[in-house]
Amino acid sequence: MLSLAKTKDREAMRAFIGNRKSLMSWKLDGLTVVLTYREGELAKAVTRGNGIVGDVITGNARVFDNIPLKIPYRGELILRGEAVISYPDFEKINESLGESAAQYKNPRNLCSGSVRQLNNEVTAKRHVRFYAFELVRADGVDFAQSRARQFSFLEDQGFEVVEHVVTTSENLDDTFAYFEQKIRTFEIPSDGLVCLYDDIAYGDSLGNT
């Protein structure tokens, strides 16, 4: 897993989109996790780690609040998503720790510690949630080269998918306005937005970062 190119310039983003249909979504601020399903069952969960090698956390992923342990699709399914803890749950957990050094600085740190717990009974009490943001592999399924169709497929399998808005260069300002308004009361930590082309082949042709 490599990094994202960054910009704070709206016009640079508009130029990036060009005349292409794109998907704008939250960049959730948690811990990236890769899930693998085989024969319809969760087989493995791994953290992003250094982008190449991560930690196996399968036992803990099984007790996330919203990860399906079984799905309809029977082939090998690999997807990426963000494990997060909401602000309300973060505040409740910190309150339960009392005024001590054991309190966590932010939801991201709490999520990282919760996901790596040696005892998944502790993880289960932390209300970790998983939001899918990328389908890596699902052999035999025709997505017509559309990321939006991949998201719909993942939703049909029982996953919560990161909220996304179909965006073009023409409605970019409206899309930004929507997210700017929603972030004020959004309960899930986010540190930006992600924009990707709906056309899978076109996006892949441009490189990795």
* pLDDT tens, position by position, 5-15: 899 999 999 99
Higher per-residue pLDDT: 141 or 50:
141
Catalytic residues: 27
Say how many C-beta atoms besides its own lie within 10 A of residue 24's C-beta.
21
Burial class (CB in 10 A: 0-12, 13-18, 19+), 135: buried
Mean pLDDT score across all residues of the chain: 93
| Amino acid 101: pLDDT | 63
* pLDDT tens, position by position, 93-149: 988 877 766 788 899 999 998 998 888 998 999 999 999 999 999 999 999 999 999
What is the percent of the chain with per-residue pLDDT over 90, rounded to a whole number? Answer: 82
